[in-house]
Every structure is written in C-alpha cells, then in structure tokens.
Chain A
Amino acid sequence: MTRPSVAGDRTSGAANPLVDYLLRIADDRLVLGHRLSEWCGHGPILEEDIALSNMALDLIGAASALLALAGTVEGKGRDADALAFFRDETAYRNALLVEQPNGDFAVTIVRQFLFDAYSVLQLDALSRCGHADLAAIAAKSLKEDKYHLRHSSDWMLKLGDGTPESHARTQRALDTLWRYTDELFVPDAVDHATAALGVSIDLDAIRAQWHQLVADVVGRATLTLPASTVRATGGRSGRHTEHLGHMLAEMQIVARSHPGATW
C-alpha cells in the first residue's frame, strides 16, 4: 500500500524541488514580515513602530522577489501574489518559529533574534550558491538582515539585562520559542534534491555557528539558554501550528473575495 508522503503534497510542486526550496525561504520572510507589520501603530515607542515596519518592509520585499522566482521556476503561471494570497496553510512552507503570534514585545524580539541569527548565516551561504537569481536576492537581503540582527540583538540585551520584569518576560519567551528552532537546521528530501542542482547550504555548519552566535548574545543579555530538548517541526512540509491559518485567513480575505480582480 502506498502511503501519501509529505514530500508528495499535491500543492507543493514536487516536480521541481527548487520550487519547494524557494517557497521555504520566501514563506519564512512573508510570514514573519506580516507578523511584524501587525505592530504598526501599536509599538511600545514610536521609534520601534518605525523600526519594526522597516524590517517588515525588507522581509516582505524579499518574499516578493523569492515568490516571483518560485513562480517562474514552477512555470505554471503563478505570480508572487497568486502564491501569497491563493495558497492554503498546508501549502505554506515556512518554519513554525516565524508564524508564532507576536505575544508581548519580548516574544516578538526573541522570535526575531532567533530568526535573524539563522537568516544572516543562511543568506550568506545562499549568496554563494549555484543559482544566480537566488544568489542575487540572498545577497541583497543579507545586507538588510544584518541590520535586523543588530537591532534584535540590541533589544535582547536591553530586555534581558533591563528590569527584573523584562528579564523574566524575555526568558519566558526564549523558553517558549526554543522548541521551534531545531526545525531550521534539519535537512530533508528537498534539501538533498536541490543539492544536486547546485543549491545547497551546509545546515550542520550553520547550526553550529547559529548556536555560538545565539549563546553569546543570550549570555550577555544575562539570560539562560533553554536546556529543553523538546522539538516541534512540520512547517517545511505544511504541518503548521494552528496560528498560521488565522493569520492567512486575515491576510488573504480581500484578495480571495475578489477572484480575478487586480489591485
């Protein structure tokens, strides 16, 4: 008996693993950018409304370019908007980390920091990969994400080493989100298949560098690295937490209410 495999998901474009690979990179940024944009007008200080919006713009901008590329590679006539607004949650390929709700500002900052640390390493590697268009997008985003990492690291220090309350909130956020970090570094069939196309990054090496970078900032922020080994995965194959569906329902409502319309 053949069992439906996750890699064979009908909406994931299994014909070309590069499409799936690009969607993962794009969806991480679209979903996280969307989450950050939810802060716009509601930040703890005006300067932070501006900073979080800036990061949202960078991430959604990168996602647009990556989705457009994925659509081209796929060759089925889907453009970036079709991929963003007309894919269901099970067809989304983002990591679980980035779809977690904003929570308090500590959750937002810890989520951002954990992702930024991964992103700069990932993009640095991708900027040297064998696919010219992907490498170019990665190189551009890398410059932006280095700035994001500096910003989120600064806030890790301020919140971790600020007041007892901010310390407690940030430690709690770190403990809660830690379970979603492992997923970023586990290679699967898609990674192996794209390696054959000249697009691969050494996830083990990135994991080690990431761990060192995170441990350094967490230590300076007087926080403690979680010891928990609980792991939550599934985002890369479309098995998400319940949060993503609500986010997409909101994000896609207008586009889906007007099929065939352009904006």
Chain B
Amino acid sequence: MANTTTAPHDDPALVAAFEARIAAGESIEPKDWMPERYRRQLTRMMSQHAHSEIVGMLPEGNWITRAPSLRRKLSLIAKVQDEAGHGLYIYCGTETLGVDRHELVNQLLDGKAKYSSIFNYPTLSFSDVGVIGWLVDGAAIVNQTILAKTSYGPYARAMIRICKEENFHKRQGFELCAHLAKGTPAQQAMVQESLNRFWWPSLMMFGPSDTDSPNSGELLRWKVKRKTNDELRQRFVNLTVPQVQALGLTLPDPDLTFDEATGNWTFGAIDWDEFQQVISGNGPCNHERLAARRKAHNDGEWVRAAATAYAAKRASASTEAA
C-alpha cells in the first residue's frame, strides 16, 4: 500500500511486473503492489456491488409483510437477510483496498455512488419476488460466476461464496414462478405481468453495450473483468429463454429469434435512454430507494452513538480495573 501512496505516478517497471503476473494468471492479494488505477477500479466495482446488495434488499423487502404463506414469508426474509450478508461481506472485502465502509456508505447516501439499475424499479405484485429471484439473481450469477475468476483474490473468493447463495435464490425464484405459472388464472396473469415488467430491466443489468462501455478495455486487460457486457448479456438470454418456454410464459420482445448459425437467441433493441435515465438517478424508484436508506441511516444514528458510547465506557472501566 505504501508504494501507491508515495508514488504519484505508477513506476512503469512495477506496472510491467504487475501486468506480467496478471498475464500469468496469478491472483493479486491486498498486500501486493498494484497500480493506483487498478485499486480504484476495484474499489469502484466492489463498492457498487456492495451497495447493490444493500439497496437490493428494498424491492423484495417490500413484500415480506404481505407474503401469502408462512413458507414464502420465511424464505423471503431469509433471502433478503442473505443479501444483507453479501453486502456486509463485500464491504469488508473493499476494506482490504484501504477504503473504510463508512466512507462508502456515505457516498451511497449522498447519491454519489452507483448501484445496480434494476433495484430502481418498483415491486408491484407478489410474483415480482419470484421473477426477481429468477431473473435478477440469475443475471447476478452470470456476472459473478465470471467475477469469481477475477484477478483480485479477496473479490474472487467473495464471489465464490456469494454465488452459492445466489444460486439458491435463483432456484427459489424460479420455483415460485413455476408454481404460479401452473396456478389459478389470476396467478398466471400475475407472473406473466411481472415477467413483462422485469425482462428489459434485467437485460440492462449487464451495463452499457460494449461499444459504449468506457471502462471495459482496461478492466479486461487486468482480468478484473473476464467477459464483456454484451457477452454476458447474450449468455443470460440464451440461458433464460428456454426456461421461459418451459414455464409456458412469454417474453415481451417480438424480435426474439433463435439464430441457428451462432446458437444464440437474438433479441430486440434495448432502450438505452431508459437505462441512462435510471443510472443518472431518474428511474422510477431511485428517489424512494435512497430516501429509505437515508431514513434507516438517520433514524439509526442515536443507536450507533449509544453502542459506541457503551463500548467506550466498557473499555475505560476495564482499563481502570486493570
């Protein structure tokens, strides 16, 4: 860490040695020298990921108190709780890069940090819980399976652990959708309507198209990213379309066709204007999500102050006793 703080510009020899390690497939650990850009890119990606886990608790959390069976209520609470655990775990991983969790949380609350665009969409029916598990956790898995091979060791290890739980969430979400797709006419309509609403936003989760992705080149060279946004998006579509068909549901894309030559499902144009609106803070729920996080943070201020004051009293009591 001392290397980067003392050197305003990265030493070309050190950069060359670092890139040679990456090329050789070595993993980079917190104590290793790394270019300042690499540290910043990772801090950006990991903190965005952690924020996404935390903000991502809100849309599904919206249905905890209305879940229509005890079993669904329990699994929904457990899922949202898992996401809190993921956020905590990745915040800790980000601290290995020398960034304090509180600093990151403040960036989120100040509206300066990004998080996944998908969580700025509202959850309007209970089947959204199923569709989010299936598509959103499913898309996260496509991303994270690749991230598990990222060059930064702590992030890669976090992804392996988290991916196991995301897989469970995805199966649970799919199972709920499958149940509703075979349910009453109202349940069938409900799950189809959820799928219609969440399909396009799910595709946007993979970020801008490769032609329009400013950070991708460097991230790929440093093996922070291992696949481009468009490659991952295509992989997700290819995986998901047969699942949709298996449930007897449809996707809201008249241009969706199977390309025999490539084996890919080609899909229609993504509304990038909508994506830009959402990531620049003007999506349907950006305001509500940040307001909810700020409220929790502000309402909790006195609780955190109490815990700190109590710990300080305990500490001084034990020093006096010693």
Contacts and interface: CB of A to CB of B under 8 A. Distances in A.
Interface of A: 34, 37-38, 40-50, 53-54, 56-57, 60-61, 63-64, 67, 80-81, 84-85, 104-105, 157-159, 161-163, 165-166, 169, 250-251, 253-255, 258, 260-263
Given A49-B81, A81-B69, 18 more contacts: A41-B58, A41-B296, A44-B303, A45-B303, A48-B303, A49-B84, A53-B78, A53-B84, A56-B77, A105-B303, A159-B306, A162-B310, A166-B303, A169-B302, A261-B68, A261-B187, A262-B69, A263-B69
B296 A158 contact: no
A239 to B, nearest CB: 24
A161 B313 contact: yes
Contact of A85 (B61, B69, B85, B306): B69
A42 B77 CA distance: 13
A261 B81 CA distance: 27
Contacts of A163: 302, 305-306, 309
A53 to B, nearest CB: 4
Contacts of B58: 41
Contact of B299 (A44, A158, A260, A261): A44
Interface in B274-306: 292, 295-296, 299-306
A142 to B, nearest CB: 20
Interface residues of B, number: 47
A38 B68 CA distance: 15
A254 B309 CA distance: 44
A49 B301 CA distance: 15
A249 B68 CA distance: 12
B71 interface: yes
13 contacts: A40-B80, A41-B84, A44-B296, A44-B300, A53-B78, A53-B81, A61-B74, A81-B69, A81-B70, A162-B310, A258-B187, A260-B184, A262-B183
A104 B68 contact: no
Contacts of B68: 85, 254-255, 258, 261, 263
B305 A50 contact: no
A162 B305 contact: yes
Given A158-B306, A162-B307, A254 B66 contact: yes
B143 to A, nearest CB: 22
A46 B87 contact: yes
Contacts of A105: 299-300, 303
Given A53-B81, A263-B72, A162 B306 contact: yes
B322 interface: no
A53 B303 CA distance: 18
Q: Which of A46, A48, A105, A251 has the most CB of B within 10 A?
A: A46
A interface, over-half SS: helix
Contacts of A38: 64-65
B162 interface: no
A40 B302 contact: no
Contacts of B85: 50
B118 interface: no
In order of increasing CB-CB distance, the 6 nearest A-B pairs are A44-B300, A162-B306, A166-B306, A44-B303, A41-B61, A53-B81
Contacts of A44: 296, 299-301, 303-304
Contacts of B305: 162-163, 165-166
Contacts of A56: 77
Nearest to A81: B69
A132 to B, nearest CB: 23
